């Protein structure tokens, strides 16, 4: 959720998930049963645990875990564990906005101010911009608006050294917008791609203004309930995770025990529509399979979601492409927030999908992520399981 641009991390119908799940557990140490790419995500000093859930084109599901969910108890990560999904929230928000466009309740090329509450619209109009920002530009991070998480004081309080003292503070969308608009824009609307959490903060306001309901209520009604995403929620001001869950860790900041700070509990209002979602790996797989399989959006809106022309191929509308060395392109999003990093990616038809996560906000090696995705998506003969070669870093 801090403004760590999504795509460069790597170069950047509904899935029932009701079949039997094959579980692979690796120890991360000398007693490893079989080396898995998930093991390479774990580091004793910075990343206690990792997990991956993959579903192939035949619906077979495999869950793999390494390390621990809780350093105090040694409990392993469970498939149903809830965790903070950070900026994967954006794909849910984008889906709702594109559904509204399909219903002709807004147009993607409308000025965003036409669908914002009066106060936010006035603030945006008076921010010294020559041209209006459109809904499409908010969805695709080409608005040029400064990301409120790039404000140094805000970042220190929420994600940096001040986290322990400020972790339970409440943040309103209006205050976050004022933080953003206190800074010059990155550039004119439509001129360049620059990932900004302010864009999705505003889209949350757009959803409320258009529907009369919060973005959380609309996402529940339109996405979470129809897909039966029973482990997915928008916590609002709730500071704890729903059960079952492990712990979330950060290798930096005060209050560290054994080199790691427990950052599980926090007020997610600092993330809001840009990153407050709580979910599970099975729910994320089901969501991305349904989305890319056409179960949530009409064809025109799904094409718009995958249109990366405005960003030079880097980002669509709430989705980004990852181009693999086997000449395949997969689609999805990642998410990062205190103590959690997750990425979900799927083939363009949604038939093969992989979600993986770690219980830390430490940087994990790009080569480890790359190997995991090569294993998941790059078959050696076009039909069989992938090998683990073909990545050079």
Classify residue 167 by its DSSP letter: T
Task: State the catalytic residue, choosing from 87, 143, 344, 355.
Answer: 87
- Go through 154-164 and write b for each residue having 16 or more CB atoms within 10 A of its CB, e for each that does not: bbebbbbebbe
329 burial (CB, 10 Å; 0-12 / 13-18 / 19+) is middle
CA distance 234 to 274: 11
- DSSP for 62-103, please give it: EEEEEE-S-TTT-PPPPTT--EE-GGGHHHHHHHHHHHHHHT
Q: Is 24 among the catalytic positions?
A: no
Provide CB contacts within 8 A for 274, sequence distance 6+.
1, 87, 89, 90, 149, 197, 198, 199, 200, 201, 204
CA distance 142 to 311: 7
For residue 21, list its beta bridge partners.
Answer: 61
CA distance 293 to 342: 21
CA distance 295 to 297: 6
CA distance 101 to 50: 37
Provide CB contacts within 8 A for 17, sequence distance 6+.
55, 61, 282, 285, 286
Q: Which residues are catalytic?
A: 87
């Amino acid at each position: 959720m801090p403004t760590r641009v999504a795509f460069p991390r790597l170069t950047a119908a509904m899935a029932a998930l009701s079949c039997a799940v094959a579980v692979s557990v690796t120890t991360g140490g000398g007693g490893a049963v079989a080396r898995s790419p998930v093991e390479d995500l774990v580091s004793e000093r910075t990343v206690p645990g990792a997990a991956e859930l993959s579903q192939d084109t035949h619906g077979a599901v495999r869950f793999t875990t390494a390390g621990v969910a809780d350093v105090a108890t040694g409990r392993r990560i469970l498939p149903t564990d809830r965790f903070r999904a950070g900026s994967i929230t954006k794909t849910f928000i984008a889906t709702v906005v594109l559904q509204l466009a399909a219903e002709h309740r807004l147009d993607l090329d409308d000025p965003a101010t036409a669908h914002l509450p009066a106060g936010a619209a006035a603030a945006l109009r008076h921010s010294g911009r020559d041209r209006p920002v459109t809904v499409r530009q908010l969805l695709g991070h080409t608005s040029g608006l400064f990301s409120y998480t790039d404000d140094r004081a805000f970042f220190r309080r929420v994600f940096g050294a001040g986290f322990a003292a400020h972790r339970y503070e409440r943040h309103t969308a209006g205050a976050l917008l004022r933080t953003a608009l206190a800074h010059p824009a990155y550039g004119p609307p439509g001129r360049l791609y620059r990932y900004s959490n302010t864009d999705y903060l505003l889209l949350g306001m757009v959803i409320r203004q258009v529907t009369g309901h919060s973005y959380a209520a609309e996402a529940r009604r339109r996405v979470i309930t129809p897909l039966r995403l029973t482990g997915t929620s928008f916590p609002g001001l709730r500071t704890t995770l729903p059960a079952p869950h492990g712990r979330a860790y950060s290798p930096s900041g005060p209050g560290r025990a054994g080199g790691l700070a427990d950052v599980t509990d926090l007020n997610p209002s600092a993330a809001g529509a840009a990153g407050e979602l709580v979910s599970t790996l099975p729910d994320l797989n089901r969501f991305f399979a349904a989305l890319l399989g056409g179960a949530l959006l009409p064809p025109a809106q799904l094409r718009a979601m995958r249109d990366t022309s405005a960003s030079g191929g880097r980002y669509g509308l709430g989705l980004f492409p990852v181009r693999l060395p086997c000449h395949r392109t997969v689609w999805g999003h990642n998410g990062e927030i205190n103590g959690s990093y997750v990425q979900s990616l799927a083939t363009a038809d949604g038939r093969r999908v992989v979600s993986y996560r770690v219980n830390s906000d430490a940087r994990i090696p790009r080569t480890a992520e790359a190997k995991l995705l090569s294993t998941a998506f790059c078959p050696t003969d076009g039909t069989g399981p992938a090998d683990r070669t073909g990545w050079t870093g």
